[in-house]
Amino acid sequence: MDELITRMGFPSIAEAQFAELGIAAAIAGAALLAGWIARRRLGPRLADWMHGRDIQARGPLTEATPTLLGWLVALLIVAIGWAAWPWDPYARLLLGAVAAIAAAAAVRNIVRGVGLGAGPALAAAAVAFVALLSNAVGGLTLLQERLDAVGFTVGRMNLSLLTLINIALTILALFLLVRIGNRIVRRVVRGGGGRDLDATQQLLVEKIAGVAIVIAAFFVGIDLLGIDLTAFAVFSGALGLAVGFGLQKTFGNLIAGIILLMDRSIKPGDVVVVADAVGRVNKIGVRAVSVITRDGKEHLVPNELLMTERVENWSYSNREVRVRLAVGVSYDADIRLAQKLMLDAADEAPRVLKSPAPVCWITGFGDSSVDHELRFWISDPEGGLGNIQGDVYLRIWDKFKEAGVEIPYPQRDLHVRTLPKEMPAPAQPKRASKKAD
């Protein structure tokens, strides 16, 4: 047993510093206890701050926040204790094992929280555990040398297994940081930090911050991997050609979306008319604007189309919309009574505004009726126009029936000027003669 321990680089058990081992065990226990307290007391508060108190609206990362916070607190305390003293190998192994377990659990919760699945989360946790534990026992350098020896050379670049692992871990870490950074920015903007901004300005800040985070993560990754930026000279030229020819519309929609968010001509919740379709703006994305019609159909309108084509925005500066109804009344009816009944029907409708008040005007004398137009205002165009028109029409129908006001049918008068004095007798059809047999 002692020979195996000596081969692993550890002194014999008799030479172990049990005092240091006890102190290391106390630090590890204190770290786990502090992590448990942080999980129970501070974790729920942090989750509420990240995504509010609505349980149904929370994502997997928010739900994993208490557990993640507990393991991170434990890892931080163990790391501080590990770096504070040149520990005995056995004490270092104990602290390294606790740190490896805490790091693996934290990495697993982060990867699962951003939606990568259980498999990648388990693989990332295993890598974190092996790396920290190997470092604790002094075998991380040997492991790196073995991984670096397995590979091949492409031009001037040496691609080894260690390089591929570093690239994968860097991409994974940056992806996690980007997702977490976007969550934090969204929470800050929609919380107290963006209280003075409206919904469109908040969305614009989120989009710009998201693009900035991705660009920063890209350059940080390039620096961490030690890639020379001059190697991207040819790639940047090819990318410029691709943007100029194939991705012109895509970048045009991107710029148009940013402009729409900046000038606030179209905002989420606005009621717009695009290509004779009335709908409510649900979301302004990077490429297109989502418009939901009253039929429940969701139209994805390119941002560039909204910048170049004519678009009606019923709630741009004022949400009040005027509705017009055409009503015909018989020539024999009391016109003033009919107008009063139409105004009363509009006043009784719950969605019709009292100010401006409804009005009713004669628009012409038709062939069969006196034509009127009833005009009234509503302040919730997203609620639809057909339902309010049908409601007012039905109320007018009921009031006309009660008051005896007639809505005439189309009628025509036929005038015969002269008739001939002697009408010719109608021609009689000839009958076929029968011959007697």
Measured between alpha carbons, how far is residue 350 from residues 75, 344, 354, 399 in Å? 61, 12, 10, 17
* List of long-range contacts for 113-117, beta carbons under 8 Å, 24+ apart: 113/59, 113/60, 113/61, 113/62, 113/63, 113/64, 113/65, 113/68, 114/60, 114/61, 114/175, 114/176, 114/179, 114/180, 115/59, 115/60
* Helix, strand, coil content of the chain in percent (nearest 5): 60, 15, 30
Q: Which two tokens stand for residue 62?
A: 């928010």
Burial 222-247 (b: 16+ CB within 10 A, else e): eeeeeeeeeeeeeeeeeeeeeeeeee
Which of 176, 166, 216 lies closest to 68, judged by CA? Answer: 176
Do 258 and 204 form a contact (C-beta atoms < 8 A)? yes
CA distance 358 to 340: 11
Query: What sign for the dihedral angle of Cα 237, 239, 242, 244?
Result: negative
- pLDDT for the residue numbered 143: 58
The low-confidence residues of the chain, meaning pLDDT below 50, are: 1-11, 14, 54-57, 435-437
Measured between alpha carbons, how far is residue 28 from residues 33, 136, 139, 152, 330 in Å? 9, 14, 22, 42, 94
Three-class DSSP category at 116: coil
The phi and psi torsions of 280 (rounded to 5 degrees) equal -105, 135
CA distance 187 to 50: 6
Residue 133: which residues within 8 A CB-CB, separation 6 or more?
A: 96, 97, 100
- Confidence (pTM): 0.43
Residue 283: which residues within 8 A CB-CB, separation 6 or more?
A: 268, 289, 290
Q: Which domains does the chain have, with CATH numbers?
A: 2-215 (no CATH), 232-317 (2.30.30.60), 321-403 (3.30.70.100)
